[in-house]
Structure 1
Amino acid sequence: MTTLDRDETQAPAAPPNPAAAAGRPLPLRVAAPMAVAAGLALLLAFPPYGVWPLAPVGVALLAAAAHRRRLRAGAGVGFLTGVALFAPLLAWTNLHTGYLPWALLSLLQAGYLALLGAATAWVSPLADRGRWQWPALTGLLWVGQEALRDRTPFGGFPWGRLAFTQDDSPLLRLAALGGAPLVTFAVALAGGLLVTAVWRGWAARRAARPEWWLAVAVPAAVAVAVGAVSLLTPVAAAGGGKAVTVAIVQGNVPRLGLDFNAQRQAVLNNHVDATLELAARVASGAQRQPDLVVWPENSSDIDPLRNPTAGARISQAADAIRAPILVGAVLLGPGPGQVRNAGILWRPDTGADMAQLYTKRHPVPFAEYVPLRDVARMVSDQVDLIRSDFVPGSTPGVVRAGPAVLGDVICFEVAYDEVVRDTVTGGAQLLVVQTNNATFNAAEARQQLAMVRLRAVEHGRPALMASTVGVSGFVAPDGRVSDATGFNTREVVVRQLRLDSGRTLATRLGWWPEVALAGLAVAALAGAGVLRRRQRVVPG
C-alpha cells in the first residue's frame, strides 16, 4: 500500500458543511444587477406607469438576489433595490424643496428594504429545508417590513407599499378581506411562487429528493387558491343606500410650487368662483343640484373663522349653491405659533358648523411640523421655512354633513390604515380625501388616487379625492374611477353616488390580519435562528 493510499484510507471523513449542502448564493456580479432590476420592476408597477404584474417580478428578483447571502450582503442587495425603487418613486418631493429632503427620505425608505434583504438572507435555511415554504416566507417578510416602515420613525411613511401597485389588478379585491396587508402578502406570495419555480439548481436535485413534487404542487395550489379567492371575493359596484349628488370643486392655484399659497386670497377666490359658476349652471337647469360640495385641502389658507372677508366669501358660495361645503382650511391655534390643517363644514345661511370640524390627525413630519427642530437644523436650515408647526387632531374625521356622513382624511393620511378605518367604524358612508398636490406633480397625485381606490374596496364605500390642482375624481366601492380631472386645471365634476353603511370583513378585522402576518414573520425569523444554530453543531 502506498503512502498516498494509506493517507486516503485513514483520513477521517470531512465534517458536513451546511453551506455547501444548501448550495451557494448567486454570484454578486449577477445578484447586484438583479437587485437594481427588482427596484425598477417595482417602480414600474406603481402609477403613473401602472404595470402591476411587474410587482411580483420585482419581489422575485430581490428574493433570488438575497437568498443564501450573508446578512450584510443581503442588506446590501436590499438597499440597492430600495434606492432603485424609492429614489424615482419619490422624485416629486424634490420638485420645489431641493435635493436634500428627497435624498434623505429615499435613503431612509431604502434602509427598510435593506432590512428586508437581510431578513431574506437570514431565513434562507428555512426555504432550502422546505422549498414550498419559500413563497409564504417571502410574503410574510414583506408584510413585516411594511408594518415597521409604516410606523417608524415619527409615525412612519407608508408610501410605496406593494398593495398600492394593484389598483387595476384582480388582487385588489383581497383588500375587502384583509386590507392593504393582505394585498401586499398576496403580491409578495406571487413573487415567492415565481422565484421558487425558476430558482437555478432546483431542477437538478429533483431526482435525488422524492418529495420534489411538493415544491411544485404546493406553491401551484396556493397560487390557484389565491387567484380563486381574489376573483370570487364579492365587491359592490355601487353602494346600497340612498343616493346623494356630490360636487368636487378643483379650483386650481395661480402657480405650482411651495409658494402656491403666496396668493392665498386668489386660491380661495378660485374655489369660490368655480362654485358660483356651478350654482349658475344649476339655476339654469344645466346641472343637477348637488347635496354636498367638497373643496380640497388648502382651498382656504386664510383662516375663515378669524378673517371675516374669507368667511364671507365661503358663505357666498354656500348660499349660492344651496348645499353644505366641506372646506379644506388652515386654522390658527390653538396655541401661539400653532396651526391646524382642517376640514370644516360650511352650511348655507348659517356658515361654519363648529361641531363638524376635523383636524388632521397625522401631520407630515418635516413638512407640516419639524420634530427635533434643533437637531434637524444642523442638517439643513431649510427646516425654518416651516415657521408654525401643525398640531394633530385627536378624533377621527367623521363629519355629519346632513345628506351623508363623511369619512374625511387629509392628503397623506389616506396611506395610513387606521386613520381611514376609524372613520368607517365611526359611521362614515362616503370616504373623502381632501388633498393639495400643488407642491408635487401628476405622478404623486395618481399614486395617491391608487390608495383611494384600495380604501374604497377595503371598506366597501364610495370614495372621492378632491385636489386643488388634480387629480380629483370619484371611486366606486369596486375601485373603478369616474370623472377623473386633469392636472393643473380648474374643473368641477358632479356625480350621483349611493351611500353604504355595511362593513366588510377587512373593516371588522381591522389591524388583526397585519398583526397575524407580521407575527408569523417574527416566528419565521426565530425559526431560522434555531435552524442556523443546529446547523452549526457538527457531530464529532
Structure 2
Amino acid sequence: MRRPDRRTVGRFLLLTLAAAFAGLAQYASYQPTGLWWAAPLGFGLFFWTVDRAVAGKDPRTTRRWSVWLSWVQGLTCYLLLLPWVGEYVGAIAWFGLSVVESLYSLLFGLGLAALLTWSRSASAAGGRTRGILPFLAVPAWYVAVEWLRANWPFGGFGWVRLAWGQVGGPLAHWITLAGPALVAYAVVVAGLGIALLVHRRWITGAAALVVTLVGGLIIPVVSPVWRSGDDSPTLNVAAVQGNVPRLGLDFNAQREAVLNNHLQVTRQLADEVDAGTRARPDLVVWPENASDVDPFRNPDAYTRIQAAAEAVKAPILVGTITRDEVGSRNTIVVWDPTDGPGEQHVKKFLQPFGEYMPLRDLLRHVSSYVDLAGDYKPGDGPGTLHPAGTGGPVVGVATCYEVSFDGAYRDAVDNGATMFASPTNNATFGHTDMTYQQLAINRMRAIEYDRAVTVAATSGVSAMIDPDGAVTQDTEIFRQGLLQADIPLRDTRTLSARLGAVGEWVLSAAGLAAALYAGMRFRKTTRRGRE
C-alpha cells in the first residue's frame, strides 16, 4: 500500500482547514458576534472548497470529499456555538451535542455529492443551463436536513438553525414569507452565488446575490401588501429581572432568594408608580422560575405574590413550578391584583436532557449529572394568556427554549396573540453566549410574525423588542433590572403566519426529491465506473 506523498497530505490539510474556516464563518453570524454576512461568505468558501476537492474526480471520491468537508464545517460551527451546554456539567455534554449535531452534516454531504455529480453530468450533456437545476436544489436539500435536525430525535434541536444568524441583515426579512426555512434557503443560495462569482460565472452568481440580498431589502417595503391590521393600540408592559444570588446548577436551591429578588424589584416598580416617576403598567412580566417556590403549595409565597400584584395594581405573569396529577409543570400564571391566580401557560416544548432526561437509566452510567435533570411534563394549551380577561389583549407566551420551535409563537398567533412574552431562565448557563443567542431567536420571531416581544430573564438579558426585531431596551447580564415600554399590539398576519409549516414542507420535499433522484443517478454512474 502506497503512502500518500507530501503534496497529497498538504492538499488534504489545506482543504480541511478551508472547510473548518467555513464553519468558523457560519458561527460568526450568530450572536453575540452577529456578523450576518459571514454565513453566506462561509457557505461560498465551503462550496468553493468542495468544488476544488472533487474537480475531475470520480463519483466515489466526490462522495468521500463532500461528506468529509461537510462534517468538518458542521462540527467546527457547533463546537464554537454550543460551549454553554457544558458550562456546569462538563465538556462531555458540549462535545456530545456538537458531535450529534454534526452527524446531520454527514447527511447533507451525501446528498451534496449526488447533486454535484448530477449537476456536472447535466452541464456536460446540455451546457451550463441544464446544470443550474440540480445546483439550485442544494439549498433545498440543506433545508430538508435542517428540518430533520430541528424535529428529530426528542423533538429536535432548532437552536442551531441557520436563520438565527441573520438578525440585523437583509436576509432576515425572508422569514416573514415562509419562516426560518426560507431564510436558510436564501443564505445557502447567496453562498452558491459567491462561489459562482469566484468561478467567473458572473450572471448566475450575481443573480443569486441580487435575488437574496436585494429581495430581502424590498420585503419590508412591500410587506403591507399581504399584511392587514392597526398598530395604534399599545399596552404598557414592565419586565422584571430579579437576578440570582449565585451562579451554578444549584439555582433551584436558591428558590426563596430568587423569589425575594423579584418581589423586591416589583415593589420598587410599585413605589415609583405611586411616586409619579413611572407610568402604571398594564402588565408585569416575571421570568421563568421567578418563583420556584410553588405558590399553590406554599401559602407564604402565595401571599407575597398577591401583595406584589396588589401593590403594582396590574396583573403579573409569574413563572413558577406547579404540580398536578400528571407531574411537575413549568408554568406561567396570570396573577391578578384582585382575583389572584388565574389562567396558565404550561410549557409545551421541553428541553431534553435538562427539563426531562431521555434514556435516563442508560445515561446514568455515563455521567452523574443525569440525575440533576428534571422530570417535567409538557402542556398542550393554546400558547396564549389573557391578563385583562376576555376581550382584552392576548399575549402569546413562549417560555425560554420554546422560542426555537416554530409551533410556539405560530400557535399563539393562530389563537389571536397581539404581542409576545418570553419568560426565560438562563442562570444555569452562566456568562455564556446562550442568552444572546436566545435573544436573537426572539428578534427573528418578532420579524416573522410582526409582533413586539417582551423578554423577561431571571439573570439577563431581558429586553423589549419591536416588531421589526430592533431591541429598544435591554438589561445587563447578572444584574437586577426593570424595563418598561408601550408595546404595540398588532393583529397582522404575515405570509409566514398564513402558510404555517407549508413553506418549509415544500422546500424540504423539493430538496429530498432532488437528492433522491440525484442519488439514483449517482448509483448508476458509480456502477458504470466499475464495469
Q: Which 10-residue stretch deviates more, 523-532 or 444-453?
A: 523-532
Which structure has the larger Rg over C-alpha atoms?
Answer: 1
Distance 2:376 2:470 in 1: 34
1:422 aligns with 2:372: no
Partner of 2:91: 99
Give distance in 2, aligned partners of 1:70 and 1:294: 54
User: Among residues 376, 385, 402, which one is paired with 2:363 in the alignment?
Assistant: 376
Distance 1:531 1:50 in 2: 40
C-alpha contact (below 8 Å) 2:197/2:206 kept by paired residues? no
Specify the alignment match of 1:398 in structure 2: 384
Following TM superposition, by how much is the alpha carbon of 1:445 offset from its aligned partner in structure 2, in angstroms? 0.8
Q: CA deviation at 1:372?
A: 1.9
Tell me which amino acid in the other structure corresponds to 2:260: N
Residue matched to 2:155 = 155
Q: Check whether the contact 2:111–2:141 (CA below 8 A) recurs between aligned residues.
A: yes
Normalised to the residue count of structure 1, the TM-score between the two structures is 0.88
1:333 aligns with 2:324: yes
The aligned residue for residue 385 of structure 1 is 372
Q: Measure how far apart 1:122 and its partner are.
A: 2.2
Counterpart of 1:113?
Answer: 105
Give structure 1 regions of 4+ aligned residues with deviation exceeding 4 angstroms. 235-239, 536-540
> Which piece of structure 1 moves more, 224-233 or 504-513?
224-233
**1:90 and 2:76 correspond:** no
Secondary structure of 1:137's counterpart equals helix
Find the aligned partners of 2:266 and 2:230 in 1 and give their Cα distance: 27
**Does the CA contact (< 8 Å) of 2:170 and 2:214 recur in 1?**
no
**Aligned residue for 1:506?**
496
Code of the residue aligned with 1:195 in structure 2: it is: A
Q: What is the rounded CA distance, in whole Å, between the counterparts of 1:46 and 1:56 in structure 2?
A: 12
Give the CA deviation at 1:65: 3.3
Query: Do the aligned partners of 1:265 and 1:302 also contact (CA within 8 Å) in 2?
Result: yes
Which residue number in structure 2 is paired with residue 449 of structure 1? 439
Q: Once the 2 structures are TM-superposed, how far is the Cα of residue 135 of structure 1 from its aligned partner? A: 5.5
Q: Distance in 1 between matches of 2:256 and 2:164?
A: 35
Q: CA RMSD in A?
A: 2.2
**TM superposition shift of 1:465:** 1.1
What's the CA shift for 1:136?
Answer: 2.1
Distance in 2 of aligned mates of 1:126 and 1:481:
45
Task: Count matched residues.
Answer: 497
| 55-64 vs 343-352, greater mean Cα deviation | 55-64
CA–CA separation in structure 2 for the residues paired with 1:492 and 1:522: 48
1:227 aligns with 2:213: yes
Tell me if structure 2 keeps the 8 A contact 1:239–1:498: no
Q: Per-residue CA shift, 1:4-36, capped at 9, x if unaligned?
A: xxxxxxxxxxxxxxxxxxxx9x94333211111
CA contact (8 A) 1:449 1:471 kept: yes
Whole-angstrom CA distance in 1 between matches of 2:284 and 2:241: 11
Q: Which residue identity lines up with residue 348 of structure 1 in the other structure?
A: P
**Partner Cα separation in structure 1 for residue 498 and residue 26 of structure 2:** 30
1:222–1:506 Cα change, 3 Å: same
Alignment partner, residue 127 of structure 2: none
Deviation at 1:492, TM superposition (A): 0.3
Mapping for residues 95-244 of structure 1, pairs under 5 Å: 95-128=87-120, 129-130=122-123, 131-133=131-133, 136-199=136-199, 215-234=201-220, 240-244=231-235
The amino acid of 1:88's aligned partner reads: L
Q: Deviations over 1:50-101 (max 9, x none)?
A: 1111101221233333443443442222221122111121111111111111
Counterpart of 2:57?
none
Q: Which aligned pairs between 1:519-538 and structure 2 lie closer than 5 A? A: 519-535=509-525, 536-537=527-528
Note the alpha carbon deviations across 1:135-176, whole angstroms, 9 max, x for none: 623321221121010011100001121100011101111111
The yes-or-no answer on 1:281 pairing with 2:272 is yes
SS of alignment partner, residue 309 of structure 2: helix
* CA positional deviation for 1:381: 3.0
| Structure 1: unaligned runs, 5 residues or longer | 1-23, 204-214
Alignment of 1:314 with 2:300, yes or no, is: no
CA distance in 2, matches of 1:167, 1:196: 25
User: Is 1:265 equivalent to 2:252 in the alignment?
Assistant: no
Between stretches 178-187 and 64-73, larger displacement belongs to 64-73
Distance 2:477 2:515 in 1: 45
User: Are 2:401 and 1:412 aligned?
Assistant: yes
Distance 2:302 2:88 in 1: 30
- Could you tell me the percent identity over the aligned residues? 38
- Aligned letter for 1:409? A
| Cα offset, 1:39, TM superposition | 1.0
Give the AA of the match of 1:149: R
Secondary structure class of the residue paired with 1:217: helix
CA deviation after TM superposition for structure 1 residue 511, in Å: 0.6
Q: Which residue of 2 aligns with 1:39?
A: 23
Query: Using the alignment, how far apart are the partners of 1:127 and 1:287 within structure 2?
Result: 64
- Paired letter, 2:351: V
Which among 354, 363, 367 is matched to residue 350 of structure 2?
363
Q: Against the structure 1 CA distance between its residues 357 and 533, is the aligned structure 2 distance closer, same or farther, given a 3 Å change threshold?
A: same
Where structure 2 has 5 or more consecutive residues not aligned to the other structure, the ranges are 1-7, 55-60, 124-130
Counterparts of 2:207 and 2:113 in 1: how far apart (Å)? 26
* TM-superposition CA deviations, 1:433-459 (whole Å, max 9, x none): 111110113511111111011101111
Does the CA-based 8 Å contact 1:134-1:193 persist in structure 2?
no
